[in-house]
Amino acid sequence: MVTITDYKTFSKENGENFFALVVQGGLEAVRSAQTSKMYFTAKTATVPTTFNETTCKSLVGTTLDGSVKKVECDDYEYTVKDTGEIITLTHRYEYISDEEEILSNNLVDKELVA
């Protein structure tokens, strides 16, 4: 289950604006690689929409079936807000519906079927 926690405004190359919803997954316990202590976190993802700003505002707090998963992607640079450090990442977080997860876990790639 994910919760819509916010929305963001983005601009297209032609100057037109569109909105995206920020979804947050459930509580996760993680062990710090630096201190070995446990802490709680929740993964978030931004999902583009066709909605206007009024609709996006009204959807904050809504829950949806699905989860936020770590997905591998091409390398990209990311600036850490707290330190200003620029790091290279090879993953992003995406919203995955329950149906999509069931299909990806149970379907065999076409190339593997003889």
pLDDT digit string, tens, across residues 53-81: 999 999 999 999 999 999 999 999 999 88
pLDDT of residue 27: 93
Kindly list the distances between the CA atom of residue 93 and the CA atoms of 9, 17, 45, 50, 72, in Å, as whole numbers in the listed order.
18, 23, 5, 20, 9
- Contact indicator for 19, 49 with CB cutoff of 8 Å: yes
pLDDT of residue 114: 60
Residues of the chain with pLDDT under 70: 112-114
- Contact indicator for 33, 48 with CB cutoff of 8 Å: no
Domains in the chain, number: 1
Bridge partner list, 2: 64
**Half-sphere CA count of 104, side-chain side, radius 13 A:** 8
Domain range for 61 is: 2-112
